[in-house]
């Protein structure tokens, strides 16, 4: 579990309200908030959503990173796994696990990017530097909301943001235009 020092008190996502800070510090102390190192201790996560495009590059003039935001809408802490897949085949290039408290949104990244662009709560292990493919978002409880974007930057330290594109997200195992509840 993450320790208090692993959280980023000076990041834009850290609250300024004293009561909210106390609540977060208490959740960290209880082990309810933080990156998960031992996913086998938690309920099995089932695939819920497919992000159809992921890009994470650092080798050229234009760099990129994929950020997937997951909001836990269930009444319980929800174990979430974000797996970044190579474009060809079924090989996981990197992944990140997080136990998300009810009502919280966590940002998962394919690689670290400056906090001024977005503060990541969980970064892929290993970080991805020459990858293109897709992302599968799995969770213990189905009540999650997902958004994803590819952030394009320039400069050795991603110092200049060029653009942001949204990636298509579909229900896992369904097609793009599948009506809700319809069988494939």
Q: What DSSP letter does each residue of 18-76 carry, written as one string?
A: HHHHHHHHHHHHTT-SEE-S-GGGSPPPEEEEEEEEEEEE-SSSEEEEEEEEEEE-SSS
pLDDT at 164: 97
Q: Is 5 helix (H, G, I), strand (E, B) or coil?
A: helix
Q: Is 25 exposed, middle or buried (0-12, 13-18, 19+ CB in 10 A)?
A: middle
pLDDT at 178: 57
Higher pLDDT, residue 15 or 164: 164
* pLDDT tens-digit map of 78-134: 999 999 999 888 899 999 999 999 999 999 999 999 999 999 999 999 999 999 999
How many whole angstroms separate alpha carbon 95 and alpha carbon 135?
9
- pTM recorded for the entire structure: 0.76
* pLDDT tens-digit map of 161-173: 999 999 999 999 9
Listed residue (140, 139, 135) closest to 124, CA to CA: 135
pLDDT at 3: 38
Question: Is pLDDT above 90 for 36?
Answer: no
Q: Is 163 exposed, middle or buried (0-12, 13-18, 19+ CB in 10 A)?
A: exposed
Q: What is the DSSP letter of 172?
A: T
Q: Is 4 helix (H, G, I), strand (E, B) or coil?
A: helix
Question: Is pLDDT above 50 for 4?
Answer: no
Question: Is pLDDT above 60 for 12?
Answer: no
């Amino acid at each position: 579990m993450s320790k208090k020092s692993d959280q980023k008190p000076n990041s834009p996502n850290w609250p300024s309200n004293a009561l909210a800070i106390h609540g977060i510090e208490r959740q960290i102390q209880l082990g309810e908030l933080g990156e998960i190192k031992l996913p086998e201790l938690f309920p099995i996560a089932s695939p819920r959503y497919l992000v159809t495009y992921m890009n994470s590059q650092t080798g050229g003039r234009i760099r990129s990173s994929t950020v997937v935001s997951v909001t836990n809408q269930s009444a319980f802490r929800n174990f979430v796994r974000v797996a970044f897949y190579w474009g060809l085949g079924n090989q996981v290039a990197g992944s990140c696990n997080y136990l998300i408290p009810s009502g919280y949104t966590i940002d998962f990244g394919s690689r670290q990017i400056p906090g001024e662009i977005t503060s990541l709560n969980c970064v892929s292990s290993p970080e991805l530097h020459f990858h293109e493919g897709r992302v599968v978002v799995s969770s213990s409880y189905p009540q999650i909301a997902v958004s994803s974007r590819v952030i394009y930057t320039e400069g050795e330290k991603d110092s200049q943001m060029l653009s942001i594109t949204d990636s298509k997200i579909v229900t896992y195992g369904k097609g793009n235009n599948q009506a809700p509840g319809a069988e494939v």
